[in-house]
Structure 1
Amino acid sequence: MQRVTNCILINNNHILLLKKPRRGWYAIPGGKMEQGESIKGSVIREFWEETDLRLKNPELASVFTFTVYNDIALVQEWMMFTFVCREFSGELTDYCNEGELEWIPFEEIGNIPMAEGDRKIFHHVLSSDELLYGSFVYTENYDLIEYHLDQ
């Protein structure tokens, strides 16, 4: 099972997101954990690699499992650790090889294209400080089949 970390960086009622070129969907900056790496160390490294920004005091906000199915066959499975952070240093890079980085106002988060599970993550993070656990099941085209959230 692949392990992934990402971070919702909040600044002046905006969230830094990454618009992925393949689907045109917005995603939370982050990526795959390296072998032996701590979860917090991974999110700091991955975020910096994509944005040139150094997170200060990121806090774990949610832990999820994701499964992707082709009909009944399991195609992919991963675990995602999402952090929230409000402090950072550095200057945002002008170029990210993963896509376009954009500061999105809170009020636009519900209207931009993204995976449906991500909408549920944002709703929780922007309305609660509780740690959220859950699971999401998607088709290969990333249509959300079902999900379970547990605080």
Structure 2
Amino acid sequence: MPNDTLPNHTPPDDKSPDCGPNCGGPRVRAIPPGEDRERLMCPDCGYIAYQNPLIVVGAVATWEDGRILLCRRAIEPRKGYWTLPAGYMEERESTREGAAREAWEEARARIDIDHLLAIYDIPRISQVQMIFRARLLSPDVEPGPESLEVGLFEWKDIPWAELAFPTVIWALREHHERLGRSDCAPALNPTPDALARWEKML
């Protein structure tokens, strides 16, 4: 939380705070008064540019026959690898709205969001990933600008060796283990035992 001894730059129109017109901008890393870690600060006015973890939202979206929607990435990182439709939340949208938007942007898929499947903490890259279960409203999908191709995959046909990120594997495994169940709490980062069990199943 910003220290109340620093200048208040909150403008009246409720936009994000910023430096004053004569400042050089946040460019020095220092520990602000009352805090215990370095922040990016403006040495001219004391404004702190807080850098917080980003939230990624996505979905394991399935058609009536159980096939799962996957997208082959057209952008880095991991261009050419398969992933779930997911991406960063936008301002002023809910997590469910964000997951539905990403499905449309990446696969032109319209989905009905079900319950939250998993919450994954990725401290190394300052991300929190929230993955929902969802139902496809139509099997008609096509690549959006960030996808080379999209497809609906039966479980046995998922290209495990070509999946883009560990969290994609985690979410798919959690989805499969919870088939027929809707009363489960959201999964968290898998334990070493779970990872070892899943490795044997591949």
Question: Aligning the two structures, in what range does the TM-score lie when normalised by the shorter sequence?
Answer: 0.7 to 0.9
Looking at CA atoms only, which structure, 1 or 2, has the larger radius of gyration? 2
Q: Partner of 1:134: helix, strand, or coil?
A: coil
Q: Distance in 1 between matches of 2:193 and 2:92?
A: 29
1:29 maps onto 2:29 in alignment: no
State the partner residue of 2:145: 97
Q: Unaligned stretches of 5+ in structure 2?
A: 1-52, 195-202
Structure 1 equivalent of residue 62 of structure 2: 10
**Aligned pairs for 1:1-151 within 5 A:** 1-11=53-63, 12-21=65-74, 22=76, 23=78, 24-68=80-124, 76-89=125-138, 91-93=140-142, 95-99=143-147, 100-109=149-158, 111-114=160-163, 115-128=165-178, 129=181, 130-135=184-189
Which SS does the other structure have where 1:86 is aligned? strand
Shift in Å at residue 64 of structure 1?
1.0
In the alignment of these two chains, the number of paired residues is: 132
Compute the TM-score of the two structures, normalised by the length of structure 1: 0.73
Q: Give the Cα–Cα distance (whole angstroms) in 2 for the partners of residues 31 and 9 of structure 1.
A: 14
Q: For structure 1, which runs of at least 5 residues remain unmatched after alignment?
A: 69-75, 137-145
Which consecutive segments of 4 or more residues in structure 1 shift more than 3 A? 146-149
Percent of aligned pairs with the same amino acid = 19
SS at match of 1:83: strand
Superposition RMSD on alpha carbons, in Å? Answer: 2.6
TM-superposed CA distance for 1:148, in Å, is 9.3
